[in-house]
Structures are given as structure tokens and as C-alpha cells.
Structure 1
Amino acid sequence: MNTIRMKAILLTAIAAIFSLSIMAQSQSLGKSDPAAKKILDAVSAKFKTFKAVQASFSFKNEDAKGKVLGIKKGSLFTKGTKYRVNITGGQDIYCDGTNIWNYDKSVNEVTISKYDASQNSITPQKLFTNFYDKDFLYKLNGEKKEAGKTLQEIELTPVDKTKSFFKVIVWVDKAAQTIYSTKVLEKSGNKYTYTVATLNGKAAVADAQFVFDKAKYPGVEVVDLR
């Protein structure tokens, strides 16, 4: 999997944990379900109360036939405009609000780019707000019990039909008003499922967590695109 593809998957994981904004679709005729909107708005509002976040999650990749191609675990840290995403044995993304470091563990290479909040790029800050109103249609499919939780199932569809995915199913923990699990269905048939293991919205996260420290990676190749 190339660097761009992996970065997209990592940022998708961020979205899966907290917000529903990057990958989804609804089957209603151009209108979203008010009941689903109420739930999504509550998820967005809950996230905005968090000063700093530390979370862990799992990521499962399945092919069109339902065969599991791999399961990985990861972690997420956010604080203001800063964020960091780590996939065990895969790739890390650091952002200190000024620069973004995309570190590929497999080749010991880091790519540095400038952070620009005005760009149309995916960032945790954009994902944690209610812009799903503009980009998606959504509907509430019902509730189910799992792992001792009451989960509300919301189906989302992208307004832009050129996206590589055609549907996202999101399960919201009804009591906590946070995302429990998200399944992204791609047009290729591949499915990606992200499930939250732990979530701490009051984490003590040092600013150093969001900066790539070259000294800790002997021999790392640096590609500076700034």
C-alpha cells in the first residue's frame, strides 16, 4: 500500500473514532433524517468539549468476499489544531499545527509538508465538526446491543458520487454520545472497519507528542516538501 493510500486510511481512522464526516451515504431522496442529524450533532458537540484526546482503536480490512486481509491496532492523540495518529507496524502522522510529518516505518522515511488549515484537506479538526450536513445524506437505521452498549446505527452516503466509497455505516454509543465503530464500504468491494477500544477526552497530552523527533529514528530519510 503506497504512502498516500496509507495516509488516507489513517485519517479515515480518525474520522471513524469521533465524527462521521468523511465517508458516508443515505438512501433517502435527497433529504437527511432529522433523527440521525440529532445524534450526529450530539456527537459533534460532545467532541468539542474535549480539551485533549487520547484514544485507541482497531482497524480491520476485508475484501469483496468478506475475507479478512488484516487487522491492525492504532492510537490517536489530538489537542487544538495538533494531532497524531499511529498504526502499529505501519505509519505515523504527526501535526503540530504548523508542520505535518508522515512517517513510513517500512522504509524509515518521513515526508514533511506545511499544515494549511485553509486547504480542502482532511484534518481531525474538520472531521470533528458538523460539516457532514454539507457532504452527506444520512439516516438512522435503528439500535442494537453489543458489548454491553446500546448502539445507534446511522447510514451515510456521500453527495459527491466520485468518491471511492459509496456508503459508511456508523454505530454511535447512545449513552456516551461517541462513535463506537465505523464501516467504510468502497466501490471496489473492500470494507474497512474501525472500532474504538478506549477513549479519554480529558487526557494530559504534551505538545512534544505532536512533533516528529528525527533523533529517535537513526538513518531516517527526510523528504521535505515545505
Structure 2
Amino acid sequence: MMRLKKFKALFVAALTVGAAHNVQAQNNASAVLSKLSAKYDSYQTIDANFTLTNYTNANKKASSSSGTIFIDKKANKFHINLPGTYTLISDGKALYTIHHDVKEIEVTDVTEVKNDISPINIFTFYKKGFNNKLGKDFTAAGVALRTVELKPQTTNNNYAAINLTISKNTNTIKDVAIKSKGGGSQTYTISRLTPNVTKDATIFTVNKTNYKGYEFIDLR
């Protein structure tokens, strides 16, 4: 009987320690994300370079392209360019999606921007809607990095899981790896980020004279 009581006590203790460890791991991940949010929330503007890499179901590289992002957070304006593919421009009210391959420009209300992860929200998407836990720490090219594993709390999206890689020293995003429900994946890698720079306001406007031969499709 004493042995049975002792076993039960040890079993309960092990469960308690395990549960506490899981809560601590989640809290640590939340703390990392809080620091990340505080970093980006302190910026008035963000000027960055990124590379988007797509992978097949077999985790083979399918395509890769590089682009630029400029965001004026206070004005809710942005200019995102993926040369040869598309350009996204918002003046705070309208969103212009410029498809260079087919020479079409779609105009929508900026409020209709979807919640899918994209260059538009790459620095903020993780703030809500995800369960999180700490992943592995590692070093690449002399930079100390940590990972946070994110799982969506709902099923009304196209992705199954996300790995966020963060610089330990600067509390900035290095890359975002998104695994789709279909088995493929894509990774956004931030190669350069400069905060609080000023650019000419004309980058947030679309002048039709600069897009001769393009069809404008107003979906508002």
C-alpha cells in the first residue's frame, strides 16, 4: 500500500512538473513575441528587402524572387514591389495590385486586404490567432537565432504551421517559413531592414501615365 501511495505521489509530481514546463515554454515564446512586437511597434516606417522562396511538397525549391517593402504605419500606407511579378501600393484608402505579367491593375478598398500572410503583414501577423511555443536555438553565419513555432487557432486559412526565426541580438525577424495545408511551403527571408526613414509620398500613388498599356479594374 505504501509503495502504491508513493508511486501515485511521484506520478502526480511528474505530471505537475510537465504541465509547468509546458506553460513556461509557452510563456517564454509569448515573451519573445512581445519583445518582437515592441521592436516593430516602435518604428514609424519600415524599409526592407525580402526574398520569397517557394517549395514543393517534396521540399524542393520551386522558385525564388526578391523584392522591397516600404511601410508608413501611421498613415497605413505601403509600397511593396516584387520586380517582374507584382507591385502593391496603398494610399491608405485604396489598394492597387499591379500585375506586371498580364498588365492589369486591380483597385480595391484597403480594408479588403485578406488575412493571409504576405509582405503586407509580415511584421505583425503573429500578434493574434496563433498558439505558440519555443523551437530550437541555433547559429547561422555567426548570428544567434531562435525559433518560435506557431499553429493557427482556426482552420479558415491556407496554412498548417509557421516557423518564425528571430535574431536574439536585435529582436527582429530573419525569416518566416509557412507550411501550407497542401504540403508545400514558402519562406519570406528579410535580408535588410532600416527603420524610420522618409521617402517621397509619390511612392504611395498610382499615376496612370506611368502604366501605359495596363488595364485598370476597379473592384470597389
Provide the rounded CA distance (Å) in 2 between the counterparts of 1:51 and 1:219.
36
Distance in 2, matches of 1:141 and 1:169, equals 8
User: Offset at 1:70?
Assistant: 0.5
Q: Does 1:77 align with 2:92?
A: no
- 1:169-208 to 2 correspondence within 5 Å? 169-208=163-202
Of the two, which has the highest radius of gyration?
2
Kindly provide the amino acid, as one letter, of the partner of residue 182 in structure 1.
Answer: V
2:96 maps to which residue?
101
Q: Quick one: which of 54, 62, 67 aligns to 2:60?
A: 67
Q: Give the letter aligned to residue 99 of structure 1.
A: A
Divergent runs of 4+, >3 A? 28-32, 119-129, 131-134
The alpha-carbon deviation at position 31 of structure 1 amounts to 10
Equivalent positions of 1:29-48 (< 5 A) are 33-48=26-41
Equivalent AA in structure 2 for residue 214 of structure 1: K
Q: d(CA) in 2 for partners of 1:30 and 1:109? A: 50
AA aligned opposite 2:52? F
How many residues in Structure 1 have an aligned counterpart in Structure 2? Answer: 196
Report the equivalent of 2:161. 167
Shift in Å, 1:115: 2.3
Distance of aligned partners of 1:182 and 1:128 in 2 relative to their CA distance in 1, 3 Å threshold:
closer
Distance 1:137 1:30, change over 3 A: farther
Q: How far has the Cα of 1:102 moved from its partner?
A: 0.5
Distance 1:151 1:107, change over 3 A: same
Provide the C-alpha distance between the structure 2 equivalents of 1:30 and 1:135, rounded to a whole number of angstroms: 18
3-state SS of 1:33 partner: helix
Q: TM-score, normalised by structure 1?
A: 0.79
Say yes or no: does 1:145 pair with 2:130. no
- Structure 1 portions without partners, runs of 5+: 1-27
**TM-score scaled to structure 2, two decimals?**
0.81
Report the Cα distance in structure 2 between the residues aligned to 1:32 and 1:224, rounded to whole angstroms: 48
What SS does the corresponding residue of 2:40 show, helix, strand or coil?
helix
Q: Secondary structure at the match of 1:171?
A: strand
Structure 1 letter corresponding to 2:105 = V
Equivalent pair of 2:26/2:132 in contact (CA under 8 Å): yes
Higher relative contact order (CA 8 A, sep 6+): 1
Partner secondary structure for residue 58 of structure 2: coil
Find the residue that maps to 1:157 and give its secondary structure: strand
Name the amino acid aligned to 1:91.
Answer: Y
Q: Which amino acid aligns with 2:67?
A: G
76, 86, 95: which one pairs with 1:91? 86
> Which amino acid in structure 2 is aligned with residue 70 of structure 1?
S
Q: Which runs of 5+ in 2 are unaligned?
A: 1-20
The code of the aligned residue for 2:215 comes to E
Q: Which amino acid aligns with 1:42?
A: K
Deviation at 1:134, TM superposition (A): 3.9
Q: Does 1:55 align with 2:48?
A: yes
CA distance in 1, matches of 2:43, 2:143: 22
Instruction: State the secondary structure of the residue aligned to 2:136.
Output: strand
